[in-house]
């Protein structure tokens, strides 16, 4: 396809496309002659990723460059690439401090508990970033006086298992690596907004309902 067609299909201006090629995050098209080039579906996928990173995460060109280099590194497995995207999304949503996932020399108590729960559930322990992020959230709750323990981890993990299974179903190796990254980033950012809003709705509604001593679940306002 021509540059103008690529711009129309992706909603990215020709000037931006040329800039992305110039800084190296979008490969150039195949030269047709001295003034024109052909662009492929891979360019559409890469522009979708760049647009997602810019709009959803506010990523800098430097961050996008690092990710696109990882995508183009064929020695990097898809699961490792997904971990990089997960870290970018969690850092952008303030669920993980920049550099935290790689800075910790060993597991905290909460990280140890999380990994034990994963083992008990038979879930692969493949995301140090997610474990670190959840441990940080648990540490914050504990420091604020909320009773937090192994049951907290199990309750939240099991509550989200069905949602996560449905959301990750479209992510397969049949997708291009750029599309995999888009799915992971959108999955974290957009679905987390929905989860946050749903959590607010559930907490507001249930806190207004009559409670009895026979109810299951937390009986005080500061249990999680």
Across-strand partners of 30? 38
Q: Given this model, what pLDDT does residue 218 score? A: 46
Q: From the CB of residue 111, how many other CB atoms can be counted at a distance below 10 Å? A: 19
Instruction: Specify whether 52 is located in the same domain as 97.
Output: no
Is-contact 154 114, C-beta < 8 A? no
Q: Given this model, what pLDDT does residue 219 score? A: 43
The packing angle between helices 150-168 and 128-143, to 10°, is 140
Q: Given this model, what pLDDT does residue 224 score? A: 56
How many domains does the chain divide into?
A: 2
Q: Given this model, what pLDDT does residue 91 score? A: 85
For residues 165-182, one letter each, b for 16 or more C-beta atoms within 10 angstroms of the residue's C-beta and e for the rest, the string is eebeeebeeeebbbbbbb
Domain boundary among the residues 76, 100, 118 is at: 76
Q: Given this model, what pLDDT does residue 29 score? A: 94
Instruction: Answer whether residue 111 is part of any domain.
Output: yes
Walk along the chain (224 residues) and give the pLDDT tens digit of each residue: 999 999 999 999 999 999 999 999 999 999 988 778 999 999 999 999 999 999 989 999 999 999 999 999 999 999 999 999 998 988 887 777 765 555 455 678 999 999 999 999 999 998 888 899 899 999 999 999 999 999 999 999 999 999 889 888 888 889 999 999 999 998 888 888 898 899 999 999 999 988 664 455 444 444 45
Q: Given this model, what pLDDT does residue 34 score? A: 77
Instruction: Specify whether 94 is located in the same domain as 162.
Output: yes
| Alpha carbon distance 68, 135 (integer Å) | 29
| Alpha carbon distance 147, 141 (integer Å) | 8
Instruction: Specify whether 36 is located in the same domain as 82.
Output: no
Q: What is the span of the domain harbouring residue 39? A: 1-76
Instruction: Answer whether residue 210 is part of any domain.
Output: no
Sole residue written with tokens 């995301």: 127
DSSP 78-125: HHHHHHHHHHHHHHHTTSS-TTHHHH-SS--HHHHHHHHHHHHHT---
Is-contact 29 59, C-beta < 8 A? no
Is-contact 37 28, C-beta < 8 A? yes
Integer CA distances (angstroms), 197 to 167, 177, 201, in order: 17, 30, 6
Spatial CA neighbour of 77 closest among 169, 170, 180: 180
CATH number for 37: 1.10.1660.10
Instruction: Specify whether 96 is located in the same domain as 33.
Output: no
Instruction: Specify whether 82 is located in the same domain as 102.
Output: yes
Instruction: Specify whether 152 is located in the same domain as 72.
Output: no
| Alpha carbon distance 136, 119 (integer Å) | 20
Q: Given this model, what pLDDT does residue 212 score? A: 63
């Amino acid at each position: 396809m021509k540059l103008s067609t690529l711009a129309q299909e992706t909603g990215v201006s020709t000037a931006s496309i040329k800039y992305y090629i110039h800084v190296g995050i979008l490969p150039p098209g195949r030269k047709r002659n001295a003034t024109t080039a052909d662009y492929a579906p891979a360019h559409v996928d890469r522009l979708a990723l760049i647009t997602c990173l810019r709009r959803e995460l506010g990523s800098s060109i430097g961050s996008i460059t690092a990710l696109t280099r990882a995508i183009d590194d064929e020695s990097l497995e898809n699961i490792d690439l997904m971990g990089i995207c997960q870290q970018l999304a969690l850092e952008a949503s303030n669920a993980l401090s920049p550099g935290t996932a790689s800075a910790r020399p060993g597991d905290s108590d909460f990280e140890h508990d999380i990994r034990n729960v994963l083992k008990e559930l038979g879930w692969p322990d493949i995301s140090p970033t997610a474990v670190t992020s959840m441990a940080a959230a648990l540490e914050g709750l504990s420091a604020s006086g909320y009773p937090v323990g192994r049951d907290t981890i199990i309750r939240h993990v099991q509550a989200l298992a069905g949602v996560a299974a449905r959301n990750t179903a479209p992510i397969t190796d049949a997708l291009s690596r750029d599309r995999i990254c888009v799915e992971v980033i959108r999955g974290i950012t957009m679905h987390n907004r929905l989860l946050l809003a749903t959590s607010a709705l559930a907490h507001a509604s249930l806190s207004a309902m009559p409670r009895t001593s026979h109810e299951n679940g937390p009986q005080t306002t500061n249990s999680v």
